[in-house]
């Protein structure tokens, strides 16, 4: 079981940004960090996940979920 996310979906559908670096700037993280999160290679620490969910006006569960 791992942790999945909806970052790409939010970036493309709600922010209409094809460019990952622009979305990374909105989230105040590096493009490298954002790409790792979007690809599911790493998961942000809980403090960072809370800040991101606030910036996106979402709950953590709206963005990250447990994969089965």
Q: What is the pLDDT of residues 8-57, one digit of tens each?
A: 999 999 999 999 999 999 999 999 999 999 999 999 999 999 999 999 99
Give the pLDDT of residue 68: 84
What is the Cα 18 distance to its own chain's centre?
A: 14
Cross-strand partners of 4:
65
Q: In whole angstroms, what separates CA 32 from the centre of its chain?
A: 12
What are the structure tokens assigned to 49, written together?
A: 């996940």
Place of tokens 């996310």: 5
State the DSSP code for 21: H
Q: For position 5, what pLDDT does the model report?
A: 96
- Per-residue model confidence (pLDDT) at position 66: 93
**Contact between residue 24 and residue 52 where contact means Cβ atoms under 8 Å apart:** no
Whether residue 6 has pLDDT greater than 90: yes
Query: What is the reported pLDDT for 2?
Result: 86
CATH 1.10.260.40 is right for the domain spanning 3-66 = yes
């Amino acid at each position: 079981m791992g942790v999945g996310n909806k970052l790409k979906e939010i970036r493309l559908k709600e922010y209409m940004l094809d460019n990952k670096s622009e979305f990374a700037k909105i989230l105040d993280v590096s493009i490298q960090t954002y790409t790792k999160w979007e690809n599911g290679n790493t998961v942000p620490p809980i403090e960072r996940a809370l800040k991101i969910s606030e910036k996106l006006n979402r709950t953590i569960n709206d963005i990250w979920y447990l994969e089965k």
